[in-house]
Structures are given as structure tokens and as C-alpha cells.
Amino acid sequence: MPAEFHLPFSFEDLSLKEYQNRRNFSRSPEPPAREQHSTEGNIYSIQEHHASRLHWDLRLEKDGVLLSWALPKEPPREPGIRRLAVRTENHPLDYAFFEGEIPAGGYGAGTVRVWDRGHYYQLESKPGTEIIFRIEGEKLSGIYCLIKMKKDEKNWLFFKKSTSV
Ligand code: MN
């Protein structure tokens, strides 16, 4: 994760400017920045990204872009495991199922593979600090929480909620 990183600090900032600025699209096969909407409007995906450090990128469609978090460890399939999720720049919707090789020297250089895909259904949210949602994916399914850590600009926790509540 680059040290200098200008994040969209709220859920309401749906700009793709940071995505655009970080990439050279004449060299990278990644999709260009453009806003669009899926028919359903609630795409969920996780990509396994073999960059300088392996991580998993969580994507949630919102109003024409993908809100994004990078997880340094594998996403939890069961309750009781809390994972750090670092907020990263919004991605275009076309990115949700992108797979390919980002060339050496470029931002995020390495292999991107889809790890999970499906839909999500928001249940509750406190804008910018908390979202509780049901994931219906192939690997992950059930109720998940994303909670922003207090006094922290970009670190969140991602975990599966116990269903026995
Ligand atoms: Mn990544």
C-alpha cells in the first residue's frame, strides 16, 4: 500500500479520479475509469491480487462505482475471525470481474484473479463508518460487517456476523 494515498473518506465520495490518476492505461489492461450501473445495482466481488504483497480486494457496487477495501489476509468464511480491511480508491464497475496481469512497474503490478463473486444486500449502515450487509457469493455467504476503526482514516474491520443472535 503506497504511503501517500488520498482516499475518498466518505461513502458519499464516488469519484474515480484517484483510480484514473494512479494508472497508465496505455500499459495496463485494467478497465478505464467510467461510471456505469449494473442492472441489479448490488454487485459484490473479491479479487485475489498477487501484487508485491498478496492481498484480497473487496468490491461493493454503490451508485455506479465499486467501493473498495484491501484485505491483507484471506477473507473470513466463518464468524469469529476479524480481518483488517484497508479502504482503497473507488474502482469502476467494469473492474468487478477483471482478471489479468498488471505489468511490472505499474501500480499494483502482478496477477489479479476473481476469488469470489455475487451480490450483496445492505441491511444497515452509518454513512462512512459502518455497513452491515448480506453477501450471496460462491465462497462467502451470510451477514457481514464492515466497521471503520475510530480515529483512523482508512482502516476498517471486516468480519462475518454470528447468525445465532
Ligand atoms: Mn489490489
**Per-residue b or e along 65-89, where b marks 16 or more CB atoms closer than 10 Å to that residue's CB:** bbbbbbbeeebbeebeeebebbbbb
Task: Please give the C-alpha separations between residue 19 and each of 100, 143, 150, in angstroms, as whole numbers.
Answer: 17, 29, 25
Could you give the CA distance from residue 63 to residue 30 in angstroms, rounded to a whole number?
20
For ligand 1, the distance from its centroid to the CA atom of residue 57, given in whole angstroms, is 5
Mean pLDDT in residue range 34-46? 88
For ligand 1, the distance from its centroid to the CA atom of residue 55, given in whole angstroms, is 6
For ligand 1, the distance from its centroid to the CA atom of residue 1, given in whole angstroms, is 9
For ligand 1, the distance from its centroid to the CA atom of residue 88, given in whole angstroms, is 9
Task: Read off the pLDDT of residues 79-107 as tens digits, 9 standing for 90 and up.
Answer: 999 999 999 999 999 999 999 999 999 99
The protein residues having their C-beta less than 5 angstroms from ligand 1 (an ion) are 49, 57
Q: How confident is the model at residue 63 (pLDDT cuts 50, 70, 90)?
A: confident
CB atoms within 10 A of CB 120: 22
pLDDT of 135 higher than 90: yes
For ligand 1, the distance from its centroid to the CA atom of residue 70, given in whole angstroms, is 6
pLDDT of 132 higher than 90: yes
Show the cell assigned to 164: 445465532
For ligand 1, the distance from its centroid to the CA atom of residue 103, given in whole angstroms, is 13
pTM reported for the whole predicted model = 0.90
